[in-house]
Amino acid sequence: AQSVTQLDSQVPVFEEAPVELRCNYSSSVSVYLFWYVQYPNQGLQLLLKYLSGSTLVKGINGFEAEFNKSQTSFHLRKPSVHISDTAEYFCAVSAGETSGSRLTFGEGTQLTVNP
Amino acid sequence: KAGVTQTPRYLIKTRGQQVTLSCSPISGHRSVSWYQQTPGQGLQFLFEYFSETQRNKGNFPGRFSGRQFSNSRSEMNVSTLELGDSALYLCASSLSPSGADTQYFGPGTRLTVL
């Protein structure tokens, strides 16, 4: 079984500041890793995903994440945030090819960008 | 290309009733998954369908069921509703049931049980 822990439930930052949202995972098998964003009253939108290869993954809206296998982490970063980045962010894993498309999500991190 | 659509968007039911939610995947997508989102439990996997067959099921009681049609559209049903079933129900579609495929989520159906 897989589990995901998002280390911060809320992250307040000022506009144009850098931000890091932390995610650790646990799994006995190889996993694929994802970050999704959810704006109020909407579904989830994929920011980026790690399948294999380069451990630094670039996504949409200027976000990037780094896969660290030894620390079982997949932290999300953005060098300069905007007001419009205010949303809830979810880290998720799927257990490779063995569990189908089933995603296990973390509890979410509410990012609030203040002017 | 149209995204994942879910109907209805909002639903109010009373305890003991049953409800059916509908999901139309992105054209060409054959895998559909359902998730329940609540403030207390977060996002939890309900089930996954591919080629009209349930491939995976989460840890939910038998009151929760689903099906997929030959055109890949999916429905989920909840019988004998309980207050705790109040949640946002999200449907996601992907090209295949591979864990590597991106899942595209619909806007959800907000179910309120009174």
Do A63 and A77 meet the contact criterion of CB atoms below 8 Å apart?
yes
Nearest to A105 among B43, B48, B98 (CB): B43
User: How many beta-carbon contacts under 8 Å exist across A and B?
Assistant: 74
Taking CA atoms, B45 is separated from B33, B37, B41, in Å, by: 8, 9, 11
Nearest to B99 among A41, A95, A108 (CB): A95
Say whether A100 and B50 touch across the interface (CB within 8 A).
yes
Instruction: For chain B, list residues with pLDDT below 70.
Output: none
Q: Which pLDDT value is given to residue A49?
A: 95
Q: Which pLDDT value is given to residue B99?
A: 82
Residues in a beta bridge with B109: B89
Q: Which pLDDT value is given to residue A56?
A: 96
C-alpha span between A22 and B99 (Å, rounded): 22
Identify the CA nearest to A1 among candidates B102, B10, B59: B59
Identify the CA nearest to B29 among candidates B78, B91, B89: B91
Per-10-residue mean pLDDT, chain A, length 115: 93 98 91 94 93 92 95 97 97 80 94 97
Q: Which pLDDT value is given to residue A112?
A: 98
Tell me which H or E stretch contains B13.
Answer: strand B10-13
